[in-house]
Amino acid sequence: MLERLAEAQSYARPLLTNFRVGAVVRGTSGALYLGANLEFPGVGLSQTVHAEQAALSNAFMQNESGIEAIAVSTPPCGHCRQFLYEFAEGRDIEMLLPKQPAIGLSALLPRPFGPGDLHVTHGPLSRTRIAIESVESVAQTARYAASNAYAPYTNSPSGVAIRSRRGNVYRGSYIENAAFNPSLPPLQVALVAMALASEDFNDIAEVVLAEAANNSISQVSATKALLAAIAPRAEFRLLPRAK
C-alpha cells in the first residue's frame, strides 16, 4: 500500500496549498482504492476534499464491503479521523504512514463519537444498495447515485452525475457523517472519480443533481457554488426524485 502512495499523490489538485496528499485504502475484498486531496479556489474551504475522504469515497462508490487499512502520505487530520471512523463498522482500521509503525484508528481517535451515538447501527459500506440493470442517461445516473447515498441522520439522500465534454459520465452519492461537518457532498464524490480519470474539471459540460423536494437538507446551493468556481460554462440541472 505504501508503495502506491506516490501514484495516489499524482491525482491531487491542491490549487490553494500546492501540498499533495495521497491515500490508499485496502478493502476486506483485498482491493486497493486510491484518493488524493482536491482544493477549490473561489469557494469556502468546507468544499475541500481530503485524500482520505477521496480514497474512502472511491471504495464506497465501487461497493466495497469493508475497510481493513488505509495508507496516507501524511498523518491524518482530526476531520479525516472522524470520517474514517464512520467506515470502521466495528473494525480497528490499520493506519499506515511512511517510515512509521502501523497504528490502529482507536489510538488516533480514542473516545470517538459515531453512528452508534445517534442510534444508527450500520455504516456506509453496509447500507442497503439499489441495483439496476442499466443506466442510459445522465439523469438516470444521478437518480441511481441518489438511491445509493448514505444519509441515515437526515434521511436526505442525493446524487450527482457529471458529463464531461469527452462524453464520460461520473457519478457521486452523498456520504453523511455522524459529526455532520465531515459529510461528503455528492458533487465532490463525483469529482474524485473524475480526478482519478485525469479529466480537467473545466471540461465539465453538465451536472445533474437528484434530490427529493422534501429533503430536510439540500445540496443545491453548495453544488451551484462549486460548479461556478470550477466549471462556469457547465449546465446545471436539478432533478427532483421521490423520497
Q: What is the CATH number of the domain that holds 194?
A: 3.40.140.10
**Predicted local distance difference test score (pLDDT) of residue 128:** 72
| Lookup: cell for 218 | 439540500
**Predicted local distance difference test score (pLDDT) of residue 23:** 99
Last residue of a domain, one of 90, 106, 125: 125
204-211 and 94-96 strand pairing: unpaired
Sheet holding 103-104, edge to edge: 32-36, 22-27, 67-72, 94-96, 103-104
Last residue of a domain, one of 125, 146, 181: 125
**Predicted local distance difference test score (pLDDT) of residue 130:** 72
CA–CA distance, 232 with 210 (Å, rounded to integer): 20
Q: Are residues 99 and 200 in the same domain?
A: no
**Predicted local distance difference test score (pLDDT) of residue 90:** 86
Secondary structure (3-state) at 179: coil
67-72 and 103-104 strand pairing: unpaired
Q: Are residues 80 and 51 in the same domain?
A: yes
Instruction: Check 7, 39, 52, 89 and give the catalytic one.
Output: 52
Contact yes or no for 163/194 (Cβ under 8 A) = no
**Predicted local distance difference test score (pLDDT) of residue 27:** 98
**Predicted local distance difference test score (pLDDT) of residue 241:** 61
Last residue of a domain, one of 106, 125, 144: 125
Q: Are residues 77 and 175 in the same domain?
A: no
Domain count, the chain: 2
Residue 40 belongs to domain spanning: 2-125
The reply to whether 52 belongs to the active site is yes
DSSP bridge pairs for 239? 210
Q: Are residues 119 and 191 in the same domain?
A: no
What pTM, to 2 d.p., does this model score?
A: 0.95
pLDDT averaged per 10 residues, the chain (length 243): 98 98 98 99 98 99 96 97 95 96 96 96 85 77 95 97 97 98 98 99 98 95 98 95 54
Q: Are residues 56 and 171 in the same domain?
A: no
